Amino acid sequence: MSRAACRLLAATAVLATAGAAACTDSVHGLSGDWDVYVALGATPHDGFEGWRRMGFAHFEGVHEAVTGTVVRRAGQPMLTVTRIDRVKDSVTFTGDDGQTLRALWRGDTVTGTLLAKGKPAGRRWRLVRRATAFTVEKNYDLWPGAVSDSQFAVTEDTAVFMKTRDGAKLVTYVARPVGAGPFGVVLTRTPYNRLSRAAGKWWAARGYIYASQHVRGRDQSDGTDFGDYDTDVRDGYDAVEWAAKLPGANGKVGMIGHSDEGRLAWYAATSAPPHLATIAPSAATGDPWRIVPYEDMVFSPINVAWACLMRARTLQNTDDLDIGKALMHLPLADLPQQLGCGQVPLWDRWIAHPVLDAYWRAHAVTTNIAKVRVPVLQVSGWYDDSRGPIDYTVALQAVQGHPPIRVVMGPGAHKGVDYVAGEFGLQSRVDTRRLQLRWFDHYLKGVDNGVEREQPFDLFVLGENRWHREEAWPLSRAKPTAFYLASGGHANTSRGDGVLDTLPPSGAPVDTFTYDPADPTPYLIDSRELETSLNEDFTSLNAARRDALVFTSAPLTAPLEVTGPMSAVLWARTDAKDTDWNVMLLDVFPDGHAERVQDGVVRARFRKGFDRVVPLVPGQPEEYVIDLWFTARVFPPGHRLRVSVSSALFPKYDRNLNTGGNNERDTAFVVAHQAVLHDAQHPSRVVLPVVPR
């Protein structure tokens, strides 16, 4: 049977037994290599779903004798298949560890639900046939050189209690090297999983005491109100001083932690405990008005997934929450109850502070960053939504006599490079823990490995797909370059006449659109993933949504490198009392698909500052300056730059109800009629840091 005939049989789902045998080891045979995509949830839900290329599968054999393995892209096992059962288009993969994948097989795609001991495991898998054999992605040796080797036996204490200055008891997991020491201490304070035994054994085997402590309100630690953070600065101080005195410790403590744990490390550093030698957080969460729960003081409702995850003393399952459907509910303040999460005090506190006030400043790192006196290593990625590493770097650099700063920015997202669409070459995957180990070898053990003498910024340049080492951030050689918005007055959708050019406009008409909160401009995001800044393909939305203006450059004739912070200046008016303005930068490939690079938002009431509300005068033009975050990217020849402008990117940002009232507590809204100006007197533009090449 021909390959084309096999494809036809698969597509029409009428594959007979004889047809299946004829297609074995061809289109409809399992043998060979497959990409493995993973999505959250046992069943599909409303809203955009993120299918992430997490691994590879390889199968050998024919008919029922087929066996195979599924591994992560970096090589860790996901499933060892010992048996495959098939009835027509239904196929069941049975693993050796009680896991089963029940799937539907159509042509070159197999899609199904993962089960653990017969029950849904909260994940769906999609296998897509590869034309070539897969290669396991190895870690790139970004910082070559010797590091501490695994040479110590390890002992563990799973529940050691530390008493804070006010008498609270915080439970801590401690792993120790077997030996006289003394040893440096690696400390993390966490609201997540204290019993990180694999990490504990890894650090202890290399000659470090590892301590992982649950913060107040989590698991067995005292406290009932997790997420208030009122005590975390002084608790961080107490934890460092306690850890420095653990049996066998050498008195030097280094802190690590990912995401919220990273912010907790920064909190401790702002308290300046005497025995803290350094911190090395990864993807540290930024200040609360910058990323969680607000983004530039615009509330981000998808954080309900995190609020529901953290609503009890231990982590709760959120994989199958139907967040996409519930997000349209008003008022937004009731969203956790709509999802069945009950009352969530953390959420209520977020909603209670819709302006940058003393409460938020008290829970910010940058407020007290001048007190940080220890060297800092930060590791993150250009598609990481944590925002903290760059924000904290900029803030600390502004402090006279600041301590050494080292920053590593890779191609990844908050949970790593596996969440980012595309492939980034042989240098894309870096072992964060090995970087921290080399850092701690110097600052906790005193090893003269030269880490403090190297250039401080390691930047992965997307598109070029290799690392650059730089002396400063932002790059001194980067030239701020304006790309102006222009059109003939019909820039709605990518089919319109919107143009992006370095030449200032002279007399271009106004572009208009209507923003209806009942049908907000979408943002492509899987609300359960806790990944808000990925490089999704916005081609279809750019072409279909008339409530967004689209401005596209001519094809580039030479490579264009953009490395550094980006911004937009938008001149606009509205007939509403308040509204939002969203700007997105995209990379349009030669085949036409438009990939998000970054985006930013401004809520009109906060155009003069996040700490005060300044009402709009309907119909009056206003200038809005919008932070477009940062990147390091080469746009190749033939690619085009694109800017889209809208008044919503939902559900990344909550809907502005356009009334001037409380967007999180109100239910009434009005339609806003929007105008974007781009003439000589009102030069709307994006400003990109172009690096000469």
pLDDT in tens, 518-564: 999 999 999 888 899 999 999 999 999 999 999 999 999 999 999 99
- The CA dihedral of 291, 296, 297, 303, to the nearest 10 degrees, is -30
CA 381, 387, 392, 395 torsion-angle sign: positive
Q: Taking the model in full, what pTM does it have?
A: 0.93
Is 570 within a domain?
yes
**CA separation, residue 159 to residues 184, 198, 211, 261 (Å):** 20, 16, 10, 19
pLDDT score, position 195? 95
Residues 614, 538 share a domain: yes
pLDDT score, position 229? 85
Task: Return the structure tokens found at 231.
Answer: 């005590």
Confidence band (pLDDT; 50, 70, 90) for 64? Answer: low
Residues 214, 113 share a domain: no
For the chain, what is the mean pLDDT? Answer: 93
Enumerate the H helices of 214-367 as residue ranges.
232-244, 260-270, 304-309, 323-326, 335-338, 345-351, 358-362
In the chain, % of residues over pLDDT 90: 88
Contact status, residue 691 vs residue 562, Cβ threshold 8 Å: yes
Task: Return the structure tokens found at 131.
Answer: 């034309």
Residues 529, 670 share a domain: yes
Contact status, residue 390 vs residue 689, Cβ threshold 8 Å: no
Residues 654, 572 share a domain: yes
Is 149 within a domain?
no
CA 25/CA 35 separation, integer angstroms? 17
Report the CATH number that the domain containing residue 437 is assigned in CATH: 3.40.50.1820
pLDDT score, position 226? 86
Which residue(s) pair with 87 in the sheet?
90
Task: Return the structure tokens found at 679.
Answer: 């003439």
Residue 9 has pLDDT above 80, yes or no: no
Last residue of one domain, picked from the residues 470, 494, 518? 470
Residues 102, 53 share a domain: yes
Q: What is the 3-state secondary structure (H, E, C) of 389-425?
A: HHHHHHHHHCCCCCCCEEEEEEEEECCEHHHCCCCCC
Report the CATH number that the domain containing residue 115 is assigned in CATH: 2.40.128
Residue 99 has pLDDT above 60, yes or no: yes
CA 210/CA 186 separation, integer angstroms? 5
pLDDT score, position 65? 62
| Mean per-residue pLDDT, 366-382 | 97
Contacts of 352 (CB under 8 A, 6+ apart): none
Is 498 within a domain?
yes
Q: Which residue has the higher pLDDT, 389 or 322?
A: 389
C-beta atoms surrounding 58 within 10 Å: 18
Which residue(s) pair with 480 in the sheet?
689
| Mean per-residue pLDDT, 660-678 | 98
CA 301/CA 347 separation, integer angstroms? 10
| Mean per-residue pLDDT, 238-242 | 98
Counting Cα atoms < 13 Å in the Cβ hemisphere of 253 gives 26
Contact status, residue 482 vs residue 638, Cβ threshold 8 Å: no
Quote the distance between the C-alpha of residue 515 and its chain's center.
Answer: 28
Is 136 within a domain?
no
Confidence band (pLDDT; 50, 70, 90) for 66? Answer: low
Tokens 């007055």 belong to residue: 489
CA 629/CA 688 separation, integer angstroms? 11
Angle subtended at Cα 598 by Cα 595 and Cα 602, rounded to the nearest 5 degrees: 135
Is 144 within a domain?
no
pLDDT score, position 7? 35
Could you list the residue range(s) of the whole structural domain that residue 548 is in? 479-691
Report the CATH number that the domain containing residue 549 is assigned in CATH: 2.60.120.260
Number of domain units in the chain? 4
Residues 627, 548 share a domain: yes
pLDDT score, position 227? 82
Tokens 């975050």 belong to residue: 629
Residues 220, 161 share a domain: yes
Report the b/e string of 357-383 with b at 16+ CB within 10 A.
Answer: eeebeebbbbebbeebebbbbbbbbbb
Task: Return the structure tokens found at 42.
Answer: 């046992």
Tokens 């995401």 belong to residue: 259
C-beta atoms surrounding 65 within 10 Å: 9
| Mean per-residue pLDDT, 315-322 | 87
Q: What count of residues does the chain have?
A: 693
Is 134 within a domain?
no
Residues 560, 429 share a domain: no
Helices (H) then strands (E): counts for the chain? 13, 31
Angle subtended at Cα 370 by Cα 366 and Cα 376, rounded to the nearest 5 degrees: 80
Last residue of one domain, picked from the residues 438, 470, 502? 470
Angle subtended at Cα 61 by Cα 58 and Cα 65, rounded to the nearest 5 degrees: 115
CA 83/CA 64 separation, integer angstroms? 7
Task: Return the structure tokens found at 157.
Answer: 């204490």
pLDDT score, position 12? 29
Binning the chain into helix, strand and coil, the percentages to the nearest 5 are 20, 35, 45
Is 687 within a domain?
yes
Quote the distance between the C-alpha of residue 17 and its chain's center.
Answer: 45
C-alpha closest to that of 604 among 584, 586, 582: 582
Residues 504, 653 share a domain: yes
Residues 338, 320 share a domain: yes
Quote the distance between the C-alpha of residue 656 and its chain's center.
Answer: 24
Burial of 631 (0-12, 13-18, 19+ CB in 10 A): buried
Residues 466, 483 share a domain: no
pLDDT score, position 20? 37
pLDDT score, position 63? 55
C-beta atoms surrounding 14 within 10 Å: 11
pLDDT tens digits, one per residue of 391-407: 999 999 999 999 999 99
State which H helix or E strand residue 170 sits in.
Answer: strand 169-177
C-alpha closest to that of 235 among 171, 177, 318, 175: 171
CA 188/CA 261 separation, integer angstroms? 7
Last residue of one domain, picked from the residues 315, 338, 354? 354
Residues 19, 69 share a domain: yes
Contacts of 330 (CB under 8 A, 6+ apart): 666, 667, 669
pLDDT score, position 2? 35
Contacts of 310 (CB under 8 A, 6+ apart): 191, 226, 227, 316, 346
In the chain, % of residues over pLDDT 70: 95
Q: Give the 3-state secondary structure of residue 483.
A: strand
pLDDT tens digits, one per residue of 438-494: 999 999 999 999 999 999 999 999 999 999 999 999 999 999 999 999 999 999 999
First to last CA, the chain: 54
Is 161 within a domain?
yes
CA 441, 442, 445, 449 torsion-angle sign: positive
